[in-house]
Amino acid sequence: MELIKGSAVAASISKSISETIEKTGMIPPHLAIIRVGEKADDISYEKSAIKRMDKVGIHHTVYTMEDTVSQEEFLKVFDQINQDPKVDGILLLRPLPSQLDEHLIERRIDPEKDVDGIGPVNMAHVYTGTQMGYAPCTAEAVMKILHHSGICITGKRAVVIGRSLVIGKPLAMLLIKENATVTVCHTKTKQLEETCRNAEILIAAAGQAEMVNEKFVGKDAVVIDVGIHVKEDKTMCGDVDLESISSVAALATPVPGGVGAVTTSVLAEHVLFAAMKKQGIKSPDLGA
């Protein structure tokens, strides 16, 4: 089994972003990151995003609020960011505390700044297959990895384990758009292992550590692991037991160093596109 390292894909996207900013002489794009509370996962992703933005020349501002913030207080800050002409893109770290109405906030975000594809306008673009708008960054990162690795998607049997609006459902739509035959599985799926073994492309986004083993993987399948978990010994793993599938899969992404490495590059690319659109600069075909 060969590993697909996300670093090469991320580097290709990042290089294109940096070159575009330099060649166009544009005003540097600006990303606003909104974090509520001190959750370790949010802080980790925030740091990764900042590191990526710094690398490609995108400015950023982090807005933090206490996890006890009221809906009224949150919306006051959010609306200011949403209406700030200097902000090109907004990354809202989720899930939010229970006292905040996440669905209301998703509907409130400016679609032009919704670079992580959380709002209904951008979701509609994903589901209708248009070229407009922004898909959720992690879902698009999976597609970037497949493209960069030279994997033909047309006609392939693809199985997605997971049906969230963040990854599973939008990823299924992106695969269908490229003519894959897609099955979406979840915790209620009967004969789950058998269904997954039939996949030529298997994407694990179940949210269960090392759930996918050799019983789920068909011979020479491509396995993309979207999961990320911290084990008791503080090491990281994904939804896939990588060692278990090594004798059957042809290609697989590791955790860490796989999809996560590409997601922040996709985020940066979306911020760039948003800034270019606002500045009236034609968007080139970027990425891996």
3-state helix, strand, coil in the chain (%, to 5): 40, 15, 40
State percent of the chain over pLDDT 70.
98
The whole-chain average pLDDT of the chain stands at: 95
The full set of domain ranges for the chain reads 23-110, 137-260
Contact 161, 186 (CB under 8 A): yes
Query: Tell me, what's the pLDDT at 67?
Result: 97
pTM here?
A: 0.94
Q: How far apart are CA 167 and CA 185, in angstroms?
A: 12
What does each C-alpha distance from 97 to 188, 258, 265 come to in angstroms?
27, 29, 27
Superfamily for domain range 23-110: Leucine Dehydrogenase, chain A, domain 1 (3.40.50.10860)
Which among 224, 215, 218 is positioned nearest to 261, based on CA atoms?
224
User: Is there a common fold for 23-110 and 137-260?
Assistant: yes
Cα gap 135→241, rounded to integer Å: 28
Q: Is the pLDDT of residue 40 over 70?
A: yes
Pair type for strands 181-185 and 59-65: unpaired
pLDDT value at residue 115: 98
Question: What are 155-174's pLDDT values in tens digits?
Answer: 999 999 999 999 999 999 99
CA distances from 28 to 23, 66, 148, 252, 287 (A): 12, 30, 27, 35, 18
Average pLDDT value for residue range 205-234? 94
Neighbours of 233 (CB within 10 A): 5
DSSP annotation of 212 reads B
pLDDT of 5 over the 70 cut: yes
Residue 286 has pLDDT above 60, yes or no: no
- How does pLDDT run across 67-90, given as a tens digit for each residue? 999 999 999 999 999 999 999 999
Question: Do residues 134 and 143 lie in contact, with contact meaning Cβ atoms separated by under 8 Å?
Answer: no
- Cα dist from 114 to 33, 212, 271, whole Å: 11, 32, 9
So what's the pLDDT on residue 285? 55
Average pLDDT over residues 165-193: 96
Per-residue pLDDT tens for 244-275?
A: 999 999 999 999 999 998 999 999 999 999 99
Q: Is 225 helix (H, G, I), strand (E, B) or coil?
A: strand
| Predicted confidence (pLDDT) at residue 3 exceeds the cutoff of 70 | yes
* Nearest 10 degrees: Cα torsion 215, 216, 220, 225: -130
Distance CA 105, CA 68 (A): 17
> 43 phi and psi, to 5 degrees?
-65, -40
Question: Considering only the top CATH level, what class is 137-260?
Answer: alpha beta
Residue 287: band (very low, low, confident or very high) from pLDDT cuts 50, 70, 90:
very low
Query: What average pLDDT score do residues 207-212 get?
Result: 95
